């Protein structure tokens, strides 16, 4: 039997020697919830603040915190609902619960409140900013109960060829019977009852330019071959009346309405009084040019903007997607290295154009980070439009920018990932 430093009276030995009763106090970043056991923080999955649950300790090796999985709700929150995905419900053994819908047991509007709390707390702790920002619904999501929004699903394949998502917080494939977060096209095409021996993963993709989904079976990458060198088919995503070409495995916003929403948000967030179409405007982490195109469509065909992206294939597509703007170009480079080059090599005239510029950046989940922030601060662009999919990384970078003289002027947040803990934010910073 495991030995734990808690009072034996708190352990339900009839179920499991590592089961404990916990009071859930608040939400934490990462889709888990906070409790305390004899003074130690315990991060609990599948709970809601205000609940009393029986939870199973799953990780107790760290001194600073433990982890646990809810196995029974003793006092339920009024915001608890039947899980939207039966494969992830609380009556499934924790190790067998499908991952990817960690907020699916919470009523949709309360999910947004919890995400708001995480964002507001992150801004206060990492940036010293008090914010009353709300997490807004994407139009149409409430009518669908937050379901049927994923246009892309990547399923994993185990050694026996079984296909499915990973179990929550693991790398073990779970077979499931449905995919409720997927669009109808993706859900109906998903080969959940088939086997793919020898494959690495199976992607189901429903481009907005077609009425059907495509299935992409990915084989393991051969030794010595970079995943970036895989041959990819080109697909088309349509945003408004504009087409974007990209590789079928390339990055694209996964929510069916995200690309159009973010296009409008970038256009409305830019301070027009600070925008100079002749300046050295930048689109960092630019992908295939979605947000650079948003800027170009807003300010005209002569707008100068350089899109910087580390993926050569994405950059090739961006060059085609941005061909309508005579002042647009796409560059293959790591953003940190590209900015270092600008800092080191720009002439006085180039520095003037950079200082008059607008920078749109959409970094990965880890955020821009210290080096990129420091380089941008050295270049002193007039405004920064920061699109973020992680509230902690955003808040940390806002704090770094504040130390360099940039102030948060506007912030909006959207629930682009219903029934998960993720959200999307867009911030305007000016000096």
- Residues annotated as binding site for S-adenosyl-L-methionine? 253, 285, 309, 362
Known binding-site residue numbers? 253, 285, 309, 362
Both tokens of 335, joined, read 């953003």
Spot the catalytic one: 48, 290, 389, 411: 389
Rounded CA separation 57/186 (Å): 36
**Four-residue CA torsion sign, 37, 39, 45, 48:** positive
Helix (H, G, I), strand (E, B) or coil at 50: coil
Report the DSSP pairing between strands 52-59 and 19-23.
antiparallel
Angle 327-275-377 (CA atoms, 0-180°, nearest 5)? Answer: 95
Across 119-134, b (16+ Cβ under 10 Å) vs e yields bbbbbeebbebebebe
Look up 269 and say whether it is catalytic: no
CA 369 to chain centre: 16
Q: Work out the burial of residue 288: count CB atoms within 10 Å of its CB; fewer than 13 is exposed, 13-18 middle, 19 or more buried.
A: buried
Rounded CA separation 25/135 (Å): 21
Query: Do residues 333 and 304 touch, judged by C-beta distance below 8 A?
Result: no
Helix (H, G, I), strand (E, B) or coil at 382: coil
Rounded CA separation 264/246 (Å): 21
Q: 10 Å Cβ neighbour count for 154? A: 15
**Four-residue CA torsion sign, 165, 150, 323, 344:** negative
Catalytic residue IDs: 389
């Amino acid at each position: 039997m495991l030995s734990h430093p808690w009072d034996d009276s708190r352990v339900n030995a009839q179920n499991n020697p590592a089961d404990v009763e916990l009071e859930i106090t608040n939400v934490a970043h990462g889709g888990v919830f906070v409790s305390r056991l004899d003074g130690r923080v315990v991060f609990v999955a599948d709970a809601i603040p205000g609940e009393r649950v029986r939870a199973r300790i799953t990780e107790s090796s760290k001194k600073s915190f433990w982890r646990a999985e809810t196995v029974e709700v003793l006092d339920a929150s009024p915001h608890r609902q039947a899980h939207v995905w039966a494969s992830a419900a609380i009556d499934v053994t924790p190790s067998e619960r499908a991952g990817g819908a960690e907020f699916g047991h919470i009523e949709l509007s309360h999910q947004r409140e919890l995400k708001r709390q995480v964002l507001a707390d992150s801004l206060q702790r990492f940036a010293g900013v008090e914010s009353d920002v709300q997490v807004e619904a994407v139009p149409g999501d409430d009518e669908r109960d937050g379901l049927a929004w994923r246009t892309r699903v990547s399923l994993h394949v185990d050694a026996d060829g079984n296909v499915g998502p990973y179990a929550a917080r693991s790398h073990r494939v779970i077979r499931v019977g449905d995919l409720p977060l997927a669009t109808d096209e993706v859900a109906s095409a998903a080969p959940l009852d088939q086997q793919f021996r020898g494959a690495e993963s199976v992607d189901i993709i429903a481009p907005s330019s077609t009425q059907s989904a495509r299935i992409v079976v990915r084989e393991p990458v051969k030794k010595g071959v970079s995943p970036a060198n895989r041959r990819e088919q080109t697909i088309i995503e349509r945003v408004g009346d504009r087409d974007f070409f990209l590789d079928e495995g390339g990055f694209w916003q996964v929510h069916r309405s995200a690309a159009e929403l973010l296009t409008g948000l970038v256009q409305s967030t830019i301070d027009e009084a600070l925008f100079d179409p002749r300046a050295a405007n930048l689109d960092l982490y630019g992908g295939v040019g979605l947000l650079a195109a948003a800027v170009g469509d807003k300010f005209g065909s002569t707008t100068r903007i350089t899109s910087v992206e580390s993926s050569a294939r994405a950059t090739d597509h961006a060059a085609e997607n941005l061909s309508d703007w005579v002042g647009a170009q796409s560059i293959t480079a790591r953003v940190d290295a590209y900015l270092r080059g600008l800092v080191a090599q720009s002439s006085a005239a180039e520095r003037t154009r950079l200082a008059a510029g607008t920078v749109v950046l959409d970094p990965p989940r880890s955020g821009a980070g210290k080096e990129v922030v420091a380089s941008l601060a050295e270049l002193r662009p007039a405004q920064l439009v920061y699109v973020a999919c992680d509230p902690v990384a955003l808040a940390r970078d806002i704090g770094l920018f504040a130390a360099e003289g940039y102030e948060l002027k506007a912030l909006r947040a959207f629930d682009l990932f219903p029934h998960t803990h993720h959200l999307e934010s867009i911030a305007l910073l000016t000096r």
